[in-house]
């Protein structure tokens, strides 16, 4: 019995060490997963904010089709607003935004670090891109119906502007009514997705 006792103590000590090691590894994995979740959410938030900016600014000039292509190339959104959204979503996932930069490929890359004790912190990065779902087609003027008799000078009615054509999203053509101009929703104009 006396000889078995030290062996018993050694076995218990070994089991405790393994339990602690598994606990530490599990905590590390949890911290890394939490950091990646926060990074993904932050990157998507930045890209989604930029997508909303694009639609809002596009709507202001929607009656000028010559400017449409610029919005489909992502030239009309501001980084600070998008990165602010990234920071807010990182905080919702118990992380701090360390970096937020605009990608040359039209999107954002963010880096976050989880909060908590030093031993439980982890860092992760994510990229989210914005992809147009629409294209600008050539403007085809709508032919005017022939009139039976020409109107006398000064007696003709004011010509009404027809719908503006040329925007196609996922194969569907959209008409812009000059009297009540509107655009498809942002999610119909642009796709936002994680790139890594």
pLDDT tens-place string over residues 70-81: 888 777 667 789
More confident site: 31 or 25: 31
pLDDT exceeding 90 applies to what percent of the chain? 45
pLDDT, residue 149, reads 52
Q: How many CA atoms lie within 13 A of 167 on its CB side?
A: 25
Q: What is the pLDDT of residue 16?
A: 56
Q: State yes or no: pLDDT of 171 exceeds 80.
A: yes
pLDDT tens per residue, range 125-152: 999 999 999 998 765 444 444 455 555 5
pLDDT of residue 140: 46
- Half-sphere exposure of residue 75: CA atoms within 13 angstroms, side-chain side: 7
With contact defined as beta carbons under 8 Å apart, do 36 and 124 qualify? yes
Measure the CA–CA gap between 118 and 116, rounded to whole angstroms: 7
Distance, CA of 74 to CA of 12 (rounded, Å):
62
Whether the pTM exceeds 0.75: the reply is: no
- pLDDT exceeds cutoff 50 at 21: no
Please compute the mean of the pLDDT values over residues 41-65 and round it to a whole number: 93
At residue 70, the pLDDT reads 83
Instruction: Determine the pLDDT at residue 143.
Output: 45
| pLDDT for the residue numbered 29 | 66
Of the listed ranges 48-52, 59-63, 100-104, 135-139, the least confidently predicted one is 135-139
pLDDT of residue 112: 98
Tell whether the model's pLDDT for residue 28 goes beyond 80: no
């Amino acid at each position: 019995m006396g000889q078995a006792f030290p062996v018993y103590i050694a076995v218990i000590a070994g089991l405790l060490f393994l339990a602690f090691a598994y606990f530490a590894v599990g905590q590390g994995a949890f911290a890394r997963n939490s950091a990646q979740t926060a990074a993904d959410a932050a990157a998507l938030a930045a890209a989604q904010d930029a997508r909303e900016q694009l639609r809002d600014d596009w709507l202001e000039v929607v009656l000028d089709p010559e400017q449409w292509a610029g919005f489909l190339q992502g030239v009309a959104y501001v980084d600070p607003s998008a990165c602010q959204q990234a920071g807010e979503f990182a905080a919702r996932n118990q992380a701090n935004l360390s970096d937020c930069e605009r990608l040359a490929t039209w999107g954002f890359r963010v880096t976050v670090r989880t909060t908590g004790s030093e031993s439980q912190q982890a860092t992760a990065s994510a990229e989210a891109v914005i992809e147009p779902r629409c294209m600008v087609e050539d403007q085809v003027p709508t032919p005017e119906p022939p009139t039976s008799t020409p109107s006398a000078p000064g007696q003709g009615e004011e010509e009404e502007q027809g719908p503006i054509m040329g925007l196609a999203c996922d194969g569907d053509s959209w008409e812009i009514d000059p009297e009540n101009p509107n655009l498809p929703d942002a999610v119909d104009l642009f796709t936002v997705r994680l790139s890594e």
